[in-house]
A and B are shown apart, each in its own frame.
Chain A
């Protein structure tokens, strides 16, 4: 990883910057409120930015996805959790899923597959130990614990 320089911007937030392998100066300002700005420094005037991209918190997460960071973290965490026949899986509820608008109780996951849904991640927050009447929405991610076969079954039902 390249050297990252950190500069404090009093009253605004923090700026981090580094030089890419192709020699381009790139930076990120993290505002105190959660907004971010991506900076690309000008080659002719290295003190100014030839481009500034404004990102909300949501935009930052999208960009994060595109850069592939969260998927890597998720799979690593999933691998680490495999203990003696017990596994954890993060199953996304996408737009076409048959479970959008239906509750956990509807799915009867535990009775049919032995899998427990221990948490649901919605936007930036997590609902721990969701009740059986918890209703899924588009964009939710169900954190499930069970056997490999059970998880595979639940995954095919939630993503169908």
Chain B
């Protein structure tokens, strides 16, 4: 159980408390520099985990559950970002750029995985890590650089919508591959998962407003408990159907609309900040910093190749929308940063033999793109003649 005997509980409190206080300092530093805290959490986990100062064995059950819930809340808030209309528009306008995005950014990851001699599941996971840009980092950078009004911004935002939807399909497939089994087994699992996703998505879009209306009758406390509980239930059921709990949470977020959506976003964000921070730190805690050294070069190579891939995708998609050359470069460079999804995908591969290497590569890759992305987009105007 969570809180065992008196002294065990006391140790757990101190351990978790120290971690939380440390994370608050990181968030403060991140705020001062105008960046999101995620890269700092990763660095902290790398610095202090596995042979570091804090040993969290006394509290590991609680911490790992907290981390799992962190992923669910991350995806719930992601789903809460969008309304049904935005989804439909995103699908319509973003289908083609989405395909280009996948071709240019998923393929290098898979290719590198196979080159390194990894199994197919591990390579597919690596492809997922290099594919999706970080909505969290990008929306922050857009705000900080005052680019929300720019003509290329809708292109960027629509592409993020498409990527998030693509993940709804990708994650069940990847999870099924990790579980393994014969080709027929895997195909069946994936088939069931995809049908489930489509059914929940359709149901959510169609009947979401009924759900939302029934949720608004209560107080904030009622709403919070209801949504939190619903998310966990749907996520758990989804996991049973091999859909991946994270996608279950995402779909719950998508289903909510109107006032329920607005109030839930407001209530869930603090919880998400807390739980998700634990997830990121715990992820990198398990990475031995020494494992980073052999993966630095592959990570760098991937970062460069997929950075170019994102620039090409953004350039083409923005050009299609009639944006000028400078705007196209701004769009392309804006998409480079990777973050939350990459780590979530890497965590799926934890049970594989390549798991530790995958985690180390993912951490290094995310840190590199988080540096390259925001910096290059800040100076994007200088990279292009008007």
Among A41-49, A69-77, A78-86, A103-111, which stretch is in contact with chain B? A41-49
The answer, yes or no, to whether B378 is at the interface (CB within 8 Å) is: no
From known contacts A44-B386, A45-B326, A46-B324, infer whether A10 and B90 are also in contact, taking CB-CB under 8 Å.
yes
A8 x B160 contact (CB < 8 A): no
Q: Give Cα distance in the complex from A142 to B160, angstroms.
A: 48
Determine whether B353 belongs to the interface, using a CB cutoff of 8 Å to chain A. no
Choose the segment among B145-153, B274-282, B364-372 that binds chain A (4+ C-beta atoms closer than 8 Å). Answer: B145-153
Query: CB < 8 Å: which of B85, B154, B324, B327 contacts A9?
Result: B154
Q: A10-B90, A11-B86 are in contact. Are A49 and B150 (CB under 8 A)?
A: yes
Q: Which of A10, A15, A29, A32: most chain B Cβ within 10 A?
A: A10
Which A residues are in CB contact (< 8 Å) with B327?
45, 47-48
* Count of CB-CB pairs between chains A and B under 8 Å: 71
Taking CB atoms, residues of chain A closer than 8 Å to B160 are 10-11
Q: In the assembly, what is the distance between CA of A48 and CA of B327, in Å? A: 7
Do residues A10 and B158 form an inter-chain contact, with CB atoms below 8 A? yes
A6-26 near B? 1/0 per residue, CB < 8 Å: 011111100100000000000
Say whether, besides A7-B154, A32-B262, A45-B386, A12 and B326 are in contact (CB < 8 Å).
Answer: no
Chain B positions within 8 Å of A39 at CB level: 149
Known contacts A45-B326, A45-B386, A47-B323; is-contact A10 B149 (Cβ 8 Å): no
Task: Find out whether the CB atom of B152 lies under 8 angstroms from the CB atom of A47.
Answer: yes
Are B153's CB and A11's CB within 8 A? no
A10 to B86, CA, bound (A): 6
A63 within 8 Å of B (CB atoms): no
Q: Mark B146-190, 1 if CB is under 8 A from A, else 0.
A: 111111111001101100000000000000000000000000000
Is B154 a contact of A8 with CB atoms below 8 Å? Answer: yes
Q: Is the CB of A27 within 8 A of B81?
A: no
From A8, A32, A37, contact of B85 by CB (8 A): A8
Partner of A52, one of B135, B146, B151: B146
In the complex, which residue of chain B has the Cβ closest to the Cβ of A54?
A: B146
CB nearest to A40 among chain B residues: B149
Asked if A11 and B135 sit within 8 Å, CB to CB, the answer is yes
B-contact bits for A89-129, CB 8 A (1 contact / 0 none): 00000000000000000000000000000000000000000
Q: Assess whether A29 is in contact with B148, with CB atoms less than 8 Å apart.
A: yes
B20 to chain A, nearest CB (A): 27
Whether the pair B86, A47 counts as a contact (CB closer than 8 A) is no
Q: Answer whether residue B60 sits at the interface, using C-beta atoms and an 8 A cutoff.
A: no
Contact, CB under 8 Å: B157 / A9: yes
B157 touches A49 (CB 8 A): no
Closest to B322 in A: A47
**Using a CB-CB cutoff of 8 Å, which residues 249-282 of chain B contact chain A?**
262
Q: A47-B323, A47-B327 are in contact. Are A11 and B386 (CB under 8 A)?
A: no
Residue of A nearest to B81 (CB): A11
Query: Chain A's nearest CB lies how many Å from the CB of B88?
Result: 10
A37-B145 Cα distance, complex, nearest whole Å? 13
Closest to A49 in B: B149
Q: A49 — which chain B residues lie within 8 A by C-beta?
A: 146-147, 149-150
Contact flags B89-130 to A (C-beta < 8 A → 1, else 0): 110000000000000000000000000000000000000000
Contact A52 B149 (CB under 8 A): yes
In the complex, chain B residues 338-358 whose Cβ is within 8 Å of any chain A Cβ: none
Q: In the complex, A63 Cα to B262 Cα: how many Å? A: 26
Shortest Cβ distance from B161 into A: residue: A10
Contact present for A9 and B153 (CB under 8 Å): yes
B147 / chain A contacts, CB cutoff of 8 Å: 48-49
Residues of A within 8 A of B157 (CB): 9-12
Q: Are A48 and B148 in contact (CB under 8 A)?
A: no
Question: Contacts A44-B386, A47-B150 given: A11-B323 contact, CB under 8 Å?
Answer: no
Q: What is B's interface to A at a CB cutoff of 8 Å?
A: 81-82, 85-86, 89-90, 135, 139, 146-154, 157-158, 160-161, 262, 323-324, 326-327, 330, 381, 386
Which residues in A have some Cβ–Cβ distance to B below 8 Å? 7-12, 15, 27, 29, 32, 37, 39, 41, 44-49, 52
What 9 pairs across the A-B complex have the smallest Cβ distances? A47-B327, A39-B149, A10-B86, A47-B151, A11-B81, A52-B146, A49-B149, A10-B157, A47-B323
Known contacts A9-B153, A10-B82, A37-B149; 20 further A-B pairs (Cβ under 8 A): A10-B90, A11-B81, A11-B82, A11-B161, A12-B148, A12-B157, A29-B148, A39-B149, A45-B324, A45-B326, A45-B381, A47-B150, A47-B330, A48-B147, A48-B326, A48-B327, A48-B381, A49-B146, A52-B148, A52-B149
